[in-house]
Amino acid sequence: MQNGSNTLTYNLYSNSARTTSWGSRLQSGFGNPVSLDLTPLLGFPASQTLTVYGRISASQSSAAGGLYTSSYAGTDATYNYLQSPGLADCSTISSNPGTAPFTVRANVDRTCAVSATLINFGSHTSLASTLSAQGALSITCTNSLPYTVSLGNGLWGTAPATRLMRLQGTTTGPTISYALYQNSGYSQIWGSSAGQTVAGTGNGALQSYPVYARLQSQTTPQAGTYSDTVIVTVTY
């Protein structure tokens, strides 16, 4: 199947287990064609429905998003039949040629999935010195799909440079200020405004982005566990 210059590999089968390819009299490499015997009774026509089973091959995660089609017309989808009072070898029939055009379609969704690791500054008795930590985002997007990744201000922060971890179990308790960055030099803040987001292009596989966290020296609050939740938004 094609979508512009992009392709998807698939096959058509004559059985639901998809073990017998639906072949062709004209192209033996595709396997054998399907043969059928119909026996009309008392002058009435006979009919039978045949199901075509399709399967897209695995390991095609690099396929670009969009609609893929494969058209069967002319010699691509043909049939022949023979009216005979006895048995005949279907592979030799060339009479009464006809065509049965159809189209195979598949839509590859343009989509992204994201997951994140925990960022842990560890345990400390004092916040008089700068502390650093690191996490990571794992993003999987459809091949050739552009996207941007933004980070929210957290549950209590008002800006990406002043996110706040709050003492767990409280809603108005003490806080610890921290920030998240795109680079190890801590010069490029990671937020949601223009110039603060990270851009990428999907390749169908997992792409990893480090998240650099820094906690500047500040007054040490009361002892306890402090935490925050930051929303990751992938726009595509």
184-214: pLDDT as tens digits: 999 999 999 999 999 999 999 999 999 999 9
Q: How many CA atoms lie within 13 A of 35 on its CB side?
A: 12
The pLDDT of residue 85: 63
Q: Which residues of the chain have pLDDT under 50?
A: none
Last residue of a domain, one of 92, 108, 124: 108
Both 203 and 175 in a single domain?
yes
**pLDDT tens digits, residue range 50-71?**
999 999 999 999 999 999 999 9
Q: How far apart are CA 57 and CA 137, in angstroms?
A: 29
Both 116 and 98 in a single domain?
no
Number of folded domains in the chain? 2
Domain residue limits at 228: 112-235
Whether 78 and 97 have beta carbons less than 8 Å apart is answered as yes
Last residue of a domain, one of 65, 90, 108: 108
Distances, alpha carbon 148 to alpha carbons 112, 139, 159, 224, in Å: 11, 11, 19, 35
- Which pTM does this prediction carry? 0.79
The pLDDT of residue 11: 95
Both 128 and 71 in a single domain?
no
Instruction: Residue 173: name the closest of 115, 130, 122, 221 by CA.
Output: 221
For 200, residues 6+ apart whose C-beta sits below 8 A from its C-beta are: 139, 141, 146, 147, 148, 149, 207, 209
Token pair for 162: 């002043």
Whether 155 and 190 have beta carbons less than 8 Å apart is answered as no
Last residue of a domain, one of 84, 108, 132: 108
Both 201 and 116 in a single domain?
yes
CATH number of the domain within which 125 lies: 2.60.40.1090
